[in-house]
């Protein structure tokens, strides 16, 4: 049976030692347990220590973006003045499409679509 668990460092691995009792059954109880463990709403998240050990030395440094975004990498929505996370196509507060109303955080100048720098003050946008 699957159950939910979560490793302290945020890594999740599927249990690699299950059989038909896991893969052939999806009853109400199984779904309930699965849903409890999923942040996105679907199913199980089994933590396998052996997997963590085997994969432990493989690390990918390509992106180090999983930190709260700072002000410099955000823009301000011209509609509601909420901060928009860098890269988002829409303001997450009011839904305004970003390339229609993006303003520079530094000087408030309206920015053209896909701008990387403010043309007035040179502030980096993303």
Partner 1 sequence: MWGYKNKKYTGKCFGSYTIEEPIGQGRYGVCFLAKSDNGQLVTIKKFKPGMFKKNSEKNVFEAVILSKLKDKRVPEFLGVINEKRFYGFVLEYKQGLTVKEMLFKSNREFSNEEIFNIGLKLIRIIKYLHENGVVHRDIRIPNVIIDNEEVYLIDFGLARWSDNQYPSHLDFSYLGDFLLYLLYSTFHTKKTHKNLPWYEELSMTVGKKMFLKRLFGIEGTYENIGEVERGFVASFKI
Which residues 14-43 are close enough to bind partner 1 by CB under 8 A?
Answer: 14, 16-21, 23-24, 26, 35-36, 38-43
CB atoms within 10 A of CB 104: 21
Q: Which of 3, 78, 79, 90 binds partner 1 (CB under 8 A)?
A: 90
Examine residue 62 and tell whether it contacts partner 1 (CB under 8 A).
yes
Which lies closer to partner 1 via its Cβ, residue 20 or residue 116?
Answer: 20
Examine residue 92 and tell whether it contacts partner 1 (CB under 8 A).
yes
Angle at the Cα of 105 from the Cα atoms of 103 and 107, rounded to 5 degrees: 85
Examine residue 78 and tell whether it contacts partner 1 (CB under 8 A).
no
Task: In whole angstroms, give the CA distance from residue 3 to residue 26.
Answer: 13
Nearest to 78 by CA among 101, 55, 99, 107: 101
For 59, 62, 74, 120, the CA distances from 55, given in Å and listed in that order, are 8, 17, 34, 48
Examine residue 70 and tell whether it contacts partner 1 (CB under 8 A).
no
Task: Give the residues lining the site for partner 1 (CB under 8 A).
Answer: 9-14, 16-21, 23-24, 26, 35-36, 38-44, 48, 50-55, 58-66, 68-69, 85-95, 97
């Amino acid at each position: 049976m699957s159950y939910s668990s979560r490793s302290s460092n945020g890594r999740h691995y599927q249990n690699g030692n299950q059989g038909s009792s896991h893969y052939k059954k999806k009853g109400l109880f199984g779904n309930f347990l699965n849903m409890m463990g999923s942040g996105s709403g679907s199913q199980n998240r089994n933590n396998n220590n052996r997997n963590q050990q085997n994969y432990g030395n493989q690390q990918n440094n390509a992106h180090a973006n999983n930190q709260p975004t700072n002000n410099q990498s955000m823009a301000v929505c011209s509609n509601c003045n909420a901060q928009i996370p860098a890269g988002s196509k829409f303001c997450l507060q009011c839904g305004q499409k970003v390339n229609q109303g993006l303003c520079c955080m530094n000087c408030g100048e309206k920015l053209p679509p896909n701008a990387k720098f403010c043309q007035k003050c040179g502030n980096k946008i993303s």
